[in-house]
Amino acid sequence: MTEPTGKEIVDQFYRWTGEHSRQAVSQGWDMFDYDCSGMLQLQRSDEEGVFASDDEAIAFVKVLAERGDETAKLAIELDAFFEPLIYQERQYQMDAAPEIKIF
């Protein structure tokens, strides 16, 4: 798989609309902009308090998607697109962090 271009990342980001977000939040989850990076990540909505963890929210969204919910299907598709990029960004941040020595 080739690395997506900046345009592809932006195009994917803007597929998630305000209407999608409103529907998701009403169910206790949403797609959030990871570290203001322009990469979306499926997470629980803390304010709604519906799910105890992000993993619980993701499992719920997967069930919705399997049942044909279009917003959930889009969320799963976008999460699959962005998750490898987010992982790569986290690795870069960890590699760039200064080593901390504890005596």
Question: Tens of pLDDT along 4-44?
Answer: 899 999 999 999 999 999 999 999 999 999 988 899 999 99
Looking at residue 1, its pLDDT comes to 58
Q: Which residue has the tokens 């987010």?
A: 86
| Domain enclosing residue 86, as ranges | 6-93
**Averaged over 49-67, what is the pLDDT?**
97
Do residues 75 and 21 make contact, with C-beta atoms less than 8 angstroms apart? no
Does residue 102 fall inside a structural domain?
A: no
Handedness of CA 68, 71, 72, 74 (dihedral sign): positive
What is the pTM assigned to this prediction? 0.83
Q: Which amino acid is at 37?
A: S
User: Mean pLDDT, to the nearest integer, of 53-73?
Assistant: 97
pLDDT digits (tens, 9 = 90+) for 80-89: 999 988 888 7
| Inside any domain, residue 72 | yes
26 assigned to some structural domain: yes
| Residue 99 located in a structural domain | no
Q: Number of C-alpha atoms within 13 angstroms, CB side, residue 39?
A: 18
- 81 contacts: CB under 8 Å, gap ≥ 6: 4, 12
Nearest to 50 by CA among 21, 24, 27: 27
Domain count, the chain: 1
Tell me what pLDDT residue 58 has. Answer: 97
In a domain, 52, yes or no: yes
